[in-house]
Amino acid sequence: MVNLLTRIIQASSLSEPCAGGKGTFAEQIKASLPFLRLIPQTKQRVLVVGCGEGYEVKWLTDQGFEVVGVTNNRIEAQAGNRRYGFKLQVADMHTLPFSDKTFDCVYAANILERSVAPLIALQEWRRVLKPNGWLIVVMPSKEWLKEYYHFSVLTHPQTKDLLEKAGFKLLAAPEMNPRIDFGAGDVFYDLGRGWGHYDGYVAQKATLPKEKFMLGEVHPESTTSGPLQLIKQLLKYPYNLVRVWRARYHHE
């Protein structure tokens, strides 16, 4: 497992460009503001993953949050430390140097698409979140797939499914009626397509169920007999037919 994580980290770091260094603070923060404002004041301790030179860290700090920023690029961290006067940490998104249940909110903008293993990254972010902690993910839309350093530009259904598999409950996402009140009118009604083709997702750390009902091969340790097993077997074939049809012909 350690070797696998090492290879993932190395692959994620290949040819990674610096995110910051150009423009004024106002120009740097402009695209992030609609999403940064989603963080409620009750989520005081915030981790910014992929913080670049730290402009989002500075904005949140100025609003009274207790913020930690991490970037995998040492040059960015040094530049941010000189520019804003606080210490940014150098760390990979897949192996964060923090204890379990440390933060109230993880904010990750324009970073998950650079991961070659987004599920591992999401599970790591979940690990450092407190119970009921929030994750806010901002991703470029599919128009940005061709960027050479983008490995995981996902469709809306793929991102939602991945978040749920990583142990999060979606609160708001593109093309979804939000389960939370943003307190800022309906400008965030779908969190998508309004700011340079960025999509936003708000999710809450959820308790992973011990077992899930899966219409497929039955795990040997959970083999059951009787009516439930019979129902599973009867439903498996038509379910798989529908799933294959949707995969082939029904897209976003």
Of 188 and 90, more confident? 90
Stretch 47-61: mean pLDDT: 94
Stretch 33-47: mean pLDDT: 90
In the predicted structure, residue 195 carries a pLDDT above the cut 50? no
Rounded CA-CA distance 39/27 in Å is 20
In the predicted structure, residue 38 carries a pLDDT above the cut 70? yes
Instruction: Report CA-CA distances (Å) from 121 to 8, 50, 109, 115, 150.
Output: 10, 12, 13, 7, 15
The CATH code for residues 2-205 is 3.40.50.150
Nearest residue to 76 (alpha-carbon basis) of 22, 114, 35, 34: 22
In tens, the pLDDT along 142-173 reads 666 666 667 777 878 888 999 999 999 999 88
SS (H, E, C) the chain: CHHHHHHHHHHHHCCCCCCCCCCCHHHHHCCCHHHHCCCCCCCCEEEEECCCCCHHHHHHHHCCCEEEEEECCHHHHHHHHHHHCCCCEECECCECCCCCCCEEEEEEECCHHHCCCHHHHHHHHHHCEEEEEEEEEEEECHHHCCCCCCCCCCCHHHHHHHHHHCCEEEEECCCCCCCCCCCECECCCCCECCCCCEEEEEEEECCCCCCCCCCCCCCHHHCCCCHHHHHHHHHHHHHHHHHHHHHHHCCC
User: Is residue 90 a contact partner of residue 71, using CB atoms and an 8 Å limit?
Assistant: yes
Rounded CA-CA distance 92/9 in Å is 7
Rounded CA-CA distance 94/9 in Å is 7
Looking at the chain, the domain(s) classified CATH 3.40.50.150 span 2-205
User: Is residue 41 a contact partner of residue 60, using CB atoms and an 8 Å limit?
Assistant: no
Of 227 and 247, more confident? 227
Q: What percent of the chain has pLDDT over 70?
A: 71
Nearest residue to 118 (alpha-carbon basis) of 168, 75, 69: 168
In the predicted structure, residue 185 carries a pLDDT above the cut 70? no
Question: Which contacts of 223-232 are long-range, i.e. CB under 8 A and separated by 24 or more positions?
Answer: none
Q: What is the pTM for the complete model shown?
A: 0.74
In tens, the pLDDT along 80-91 reads 999 888 889 999
